Amino acid sequence: MSAVRYLDLDISEIFLFDNYIIDQIKEGVHVEPYFNDLMQNIIHKYYYNKPFVYITNRVFSDSINPSDYTEIKGINNLIAFAVVTTDKIVNKNTKETHFFNKAYKIFNTIDEAVTWSDDIFLIKQAEINRS
């Protein structure tokens, strides 16, 4: 698993792969709404009209307003969303703020999330090929 691209932003490290993004918010960052615009620009540039999975790797202490996730619904080529965390509070809050109607799952490790992402992507590709 080697990233196709690596972006080091002020608030986040982003690892872009062929079929998924791993986003890792930096320690102590409070994610502001402008981050949605930034992510949408990145998605448009690297995944334009291509299905992909978004994985957020919550390894550091950060904060985000769950309502900021609502804009994710409008990304048509996003096929699934994974959260990686071992923090019980983040896990509970994430489960309670399920924000969209696509495949969604919480994992303890990045490897589990990537495996799931690969599976979801293969299923989606098979659906597209059948159409």
Domain range enclosing 64: 5-130
70, 87, 116, 128 from 120: Cα distances, Å: 21, 24, 6, 12
Tell me what pLDDT residue 91 has: 45
Do 89 and 1 meet the contact criterion of CB atoms below 8 Å apart?
no
> Into how many domains does the chain fold?
1
Which whole-number Å values give the CA distances from 111 to 29, 57, 68, 76, 117, in the listed order? 24, 11, 26, 25, 10
pLDDT confidence bin for 98, thresholds 50/70/90? low
Could you give the percent of the chain with pLDDT greater than 70? 73
Q: What is the band of 18 on the pLDDT scale with cuts at 50, 70, 90?
A: very high
**Spatial contact of 58 and 84, defined as CB atoms under 8 Å apart:** yes
pLDDT at residue number 67: 54
CATH of the domain at 21: 3.30.750.24
| pLDDT tens column, 37-94 | 888 899 999 999 899 999 989 876 545 555 555 566 678 889 998 989 886 555 444 5
Residue 12 has pLDDT above 60, yes or no: yes
Euclidean distance between CA atoms 124 and 105, whole angstroms: 16
